[in-house]
Structure 1
Amino acid sequence: MMWTMSLDGAVTFIDPEVQALRGFSSAQAVGQTIEEMWTPSSADLVRAYLAELRVDAAAGDRQHEGLTADLEVRRADGVAVRCSVELAPFHDRDGSLVGVVGIAHDADGRRRSEELLERARRDVAQANRNLTRLLRARSAELSAARTELKQLREALIPSDVPQLDGLDVAIEYRPAEHAVAGDFYLVAGSAERSVIVLGDMQGHGIAAARDATFARAVISSVLANASGPGAILELANRLLCEAWAEDDRFLSAACLVHDPQARTITWALAGHPSPIALAEPRSLDGDHRGLPLGVLADATFATQVTSLAVGDGLLLYTDGVTEARSGETQFGEERLLDAVRAHRGAPGAAVVRAVADALDAFTGGELSDDVCLMALRPRA
């Protein structure tokens, strides 16, 4: 008879031979306690063995010894049957002790039982070898994924922000707690103009990060062929719609063009949250937020112009900020504006850091979506 039991002695599996040895069916025997399965003296021995295993496991010792002894099991008719019993610990995939496997046999069945136990040991050894190979392969996959994720994040959120003529740019990025997402920014400048793009790819996971990297590259490639932010978004949108014609992929984006001579910023939105003015904190809500990129090939994107005097500025952000949750409550635009007002006049780096810290305090540091904040202030 072969069976398994938990560390508290309850039977969790038993083979059909229990019928011949004890008069119980397998279904009747599963769930029996130590007292129901063994006579008192044998139950004490089994109970002591399980206690030793639990102590060893708690101490981190995985070299558990087996137990071989003559014990008495209870039959359904109340008769005690003396058997030669062998108990051995077994572990889960993580190597943690989870129970005991046992074999009981009479003298005539000893040889067959030994063969069964040896077969079980071989099966366990083979299972452990298979598991080791699987874990090594999985570890290699995870290592490769972590390397790719690091490379993607550096491509999407470069740690070094380019210096622009007449404009200070500050970035604050906070990754999601348990997911990979597709927030990104793009900054490109010359003496005549600077282009700033903040984007947020739909979806989560490494696939979204790859798509965001592609979208960022597409937007970067059209900068030389389009002057205003609306034209930049329209050209990039046509290319993305063509590339994603067979897929349901899209992203939101804010595109801004800074003219250092005129001290103006011209901006257009593709389904993206509106910028926030920093001098008198408020959302610059326009009538035309536009469609996300990748949805409609002939979509157009309206532009708006904002003057930037010294002390002015804009805050851009991805929707992970306002949609962050604490329980059922969203962070929302009003909390965002409160955080900005509390740091009115502060350098851009202090503003984005303060907003991110307020968000951490609200969520307990557990973000379900990436967060990217960008502050733009004219240089004196």
Structure 2
Amino acid sequence: MDRATGTTDPGGGTRMTDRLLGVRRCLAAAPADLLLERLGTELARTYGTTETELLQVDYRLAALVPLSGAEPVIGAGTPAWRCFDHQSEVVQGGALHVPVTMRGDRLGVLRLAPVPDDPERRGELAEVATTLAHELVAVRPGTDRYAVGARTRRLTLAAEMQWELLPGRSRIRPSFSLAGQLEPAYAVRGDSFDWADDGQRVWLSTVNGMGEGVTASMLTCLGTNALRNARRAGLELADQASLADQAIYSYHQGIQHLSALLLELDLQTGVVTAVDAGSPRLLVLRGSEVIEQPLDDQFPLGMFDGTLYQSQRFELSVGDRLFVVSDGVPEAASQTARYGETALHRSVRRTRSMAPLEAVRSLLGDLRAFVGSDLVDDAVVVCLDWTGRV
């Protein structure tokens, strides 16, 4: 085969481009709820696989859940989790595991058997898994099969609303990578995050709606969409905060309000513009040093009528990592102690060599181990790396 074009095959077999094109056509034509079944049939025909299984990462980032309904895979040492964590193929036990990831958003792992002997064909199957990831995201609004299949328990109504509001759970570009997580994953209330980028800037917001249950979720939904509306109108960051503030005050008349942190990172210079409206805390990991980034505290969104917000700026160094953590992290308590600043800084330092999603998982895993159970109060953790490359 011509490795540059994939258009010839001296052995007379199906060419690489033909195989991959066939898979893409198969997935594009498949009913939304039958992607895996149609993919399995096509892979059996073109690659000789007899087993095709999709394992989706659950909402808690703690289990890989087979779409077939088999037992979830738990444990960092398993082939599926090694594939998910390192985002590379893993061959073990007669099966090939490849990551199902779209633009850095890790959805799960595709497990295939038997394993092709040809490394080039295994590389093609990695491309197949990426194509599957794009299709899963595309069909999600039209079927509940994959959303339900990624759960190990029922979500509360408030959590359902919060998860549907998110832009994804991780994102990668040459200039940055980021990830976020909500806890307790199956019962989260008012905490949430949002992000967007245009190749030159990345916007990140973390919010916490006051109240409990659906009341908090509805407030967070209003605030997030008001911020998106202002951002998409091209407003400056401080004006985005003011527009959202007006929207929330107009509806709730100050009875309810929303804590928020708005960030805008210039991907060329590393300059961060920030608006702190009663927000979570912001930490910078620079080398092995954890820096508490000081911010000018302003009123939460919607607390008063006509609040004027001011932005501030600080600079990142290439390779810096930002952590945004809500109060539910340092304030989490076991039966005998509070998690606190020392443990938080230690957990942040420990993530230096990890990708952002692994870093988020590590910090929250340490927090759950400290508490000894699922978290009681809401917590949001977002991790952002700036590489300096555009």
Instruction: Indicate the TM-score class for this superposition, using the shorter chain for normalisation.
Output: 0.5 to 0.7
Q: Structure 1 residues 149 and 202 mapped into 2: Cα distance closer, same or farther (>3 Å)? A: closer
Residue 167 (str. 1) matches residue 176 (str. 2): yes
Residue 194 (str. 1) matches residue 199 (str. 2): no
Residue 371 (str. 1) matches residue 369 (str. 2): no
C-alpha displacement of 1:326: 1.2
Classify the secondary structure of the residue corresponding to 1:344.
coil
Q: Does the Cα contact within 8 Å between 1:311 and 1:345 map onto a contact in 2?
A: no
In the TM superposition, 1:102-251 aligns within 5 A as: 148-149=157-158, 151-163=160-172, 166-175=175-184, 180-245=188-253, 248-251=255-258
Q: Among 308, 313, 318, which residue is 1:310 paired with?
A: 318
Classify the secondary structure of the residue corresponding to 1:350.
helix
Aligned length: 233
Q: Aligned partners of 2:271, 2:326: CA distance in 1, in Å?
A: 22
Q: Greater shift after overlay, 365-374 or 323-332? A: 323-332
Structure 1 counterpart of 2:299, one-letter code: L
Across the aligned residues of Structure 1 and Structure 2, the Cα RMSD in angstroms comes to: 2.4
Residue 270 (str. 1) matches residue 262 (str. 2): no
Task: List, as ranges, runs of 4+ consecutive aligned residues in structure 1 with deviation greater than 3 Å.
Answer: 145-151, 156-165, 225-228
Q: TM-score, normalised by structure 2?
A: 0.55
Cα deviation code 1:325-374 (max 9, x no counterpart): 11363222222112112233533223222211111111112311122111
Q: Aligned partners of 1:196, 1:157: CA distance in 2, in Å?
A: 12
Cα deviation code 1:239-297 (max 9, x no counterpart): 2111111x6211111100111122222111110133100112121123x1111111012
Q: Aligned partners of 2:169, 2:181: CA distance in 1, in Å?
A: 12
Residue 289 (str. 1) matches residue 294 (str. 2): no
Structure 1 counterpart of 2:285, one-letter code: L
Q: Structure 1 residues 235 and 249 mapped into 2: Cα distance closer, same or farther (>3 Å)? A: same
Classify the secondary structure of the residue corresponding to 1:290.
coil
Structure 2 counterpart of 1:352, one-letter code: V
Classify the secondary structure of the residue corresponding to 1:186.
strand
Identity of aligned residues (%): 26
Q: Does the Cα contact within 8 Å between 1:267 and 1:305 map onto a contact in 2?
A: yes
Residue 259 (str. 1) matches residue 266 (str. 2): yes
Structure 2 counterpart of 1:262, one-letter code: T
What is the match of residue 75 of structure 1?
none
Q: Structure 1 residues 172 and 370 mapped into 2: Cα distance closer, same or farther (>3 Å)? A: same
Q: Aligned partners of 1:167, 1:176: CA distance in 2, in Å?
A: 25
Q: Structure 1 residues 362 and 237 mapped into 2: Cα distance closer, same or farther (>3 Å)? A: same
Q: Structure 1 residues 307 and 162 mapped into 2: Cα distance closer, same or farther (>3 Å)? A: same
Q: Does the Cα contact within 8 Å between 1:176 and 1:371 map onto a contact in 2?
A: no
Structure 2 counterpart of 1:240, one-letter code: I
Q: TM-score, normalised by structure 1?
A: 0.56
Q: Aligned partners of 2:207, 2:166: CA distance in 1, in Å?
A: 11
Q: Aligned partners of 2:274, 2:380: CA distance in 1, in Å?
A: 18
Instruction: Tell which structure's C-alpha radius of gyration is larger.
Output: 1
**Unaligned 5+ runs, structure 1:** 1-144
C-alpha displacement of 1:146: 5.2
Classify the secondary structure of the residue corresponding to 2:281.
coil
Q: Aligned partners of 1:225, 1:248: CA distance in 2, in Å?
A: 27
Q: Aligned partners of 2:185, 2:376: CA distance in 1, in Å?
A: 5
Q: Does the Cα contact within 8 Å between 2:248 and 2:301 map onto a contact in 1?
A: yes
Q: Does the Cα contact within 8 Å between 1:324 and 1:367 map onto a contact in 2?
A: yes
Classify the secondary structure of the residue corresponding to 2:362.
helix
What is the match of residue 298 of structure 1?
306
Q: Among 328, 337, 340, which residue is 1:332 paired with?
A: 340
Q: Does the Cα contact within 8 Å between 2:206 and 2:260 map onto a contact in 1?
A: yes
What is the match of residue 348 of structure 1?
356
**Unaligned 5+ runs, structure 2:** 1-153
C-alpha displacement of 1:218: 1.2
